[in-house]
Amino acid sequence: MYVTAPGEFPVPVSLRSRKTKHDENFKVHDLKQDQHLFREGDDAKHIYEIVSGVLRLTRVLENGRRQVIAFGFPGDFVGFPCCGLHHTECDAITPARVVYHRREALEDGAVNPELHAVLLQAALREIRAMQDHFMMLGCKSAREKTASFLSVLAQRTGTKLGAYTEIKLPMSRSDIADFLGLTTETVCRTISQLRSAKVIALEDPHVIVVLKPEALLALAESD
């Protein structure tokens, strides 16, 4: 979900939903683009596993500025509660499908031991990824942040085109900026610099082709 955190990515729910679809608590829900799954302060009765589409988790700061906390991709879980409440807004960037899991499955392992283990691992993975994301926000330059974002997105959702990798960006440049702690202008400028260096190519604003994945990864790790 924190796509700037490299590592092992979760298995999409479509590969394991058959194990739980006869559970009485199993429920599938489809979201339209821009539809909210939950809002900040709502009672957190469920934890949601993404089957398809992309979700966006955001918070609005006291000064009115928006912070994109994370993007949710297939295989990710969203909606882990804080004091029984959702602490972010969550809406669909694209049409999406999610599976509802009752919160009790995380809190009480006797309810469904297999699901409890899956949710616990997802929660631990989120904590680790959040720590990596905070480090990235505080320690990396604009070029490192943007290269990190594109590099991990290529690993996670990219389509191989021979030696190249195609990335489809469902989010806007302003979404990326609010996720990386940058301005929209800085993100656009940095992407243009990567394009000028022939590290990436742009087919259109929402399709990027990584021409030199090793160079992109090197830029992500060191300025």
Question: In which domain, by residue range, is 107 found?
Answer: 13-138
Pairing state between β 46-52 and 164-168: unpaired
Per-residue pLDDT tens digits of the chain, which is 223 residues long: 677 665 667 766 554 544 544 455 568 999 999 999 999 999 999 999 999 999 999 998 888 889 999 999 999 999 998 888 999 999 999 999 999 998 888 888 777 888 888 888 888 888 888 888 888 888 899 999 999 999 999 999 999 999 999 999 999 999 999 999 999 999 999 999 999 999 999 999 899 999 999 999 999 986 5
pTM, 2 dp: 0.88
Q: What are phi and psi of 125, to 5 degrees?
A: -65, -40
Pairing state between β 159-161 and 66-72: unpaired
Residue 5's pLDDT is 61
Claim to verify: residue 27 and residue 80 sit in the same structural domain: yes
The Cα–Cα gap between 104 and 42 comes to 16
Q: Which two tokens stand for residue 67?
A: 């912070």
Give me the number of domains the chain comprises: 2
| CATH code of the domain covering residue 51 | 2.60.120.10
Claim to verify: residue 126 and residue 205 sit in the same structural domain: no
Q: Tell me the angle at which helices 142-157 and 213-221 cross, rounded to the nearest 10 degrees.
A: 130
Claim to verify: residue 117 and residue 149 sit in the same structural domain: no
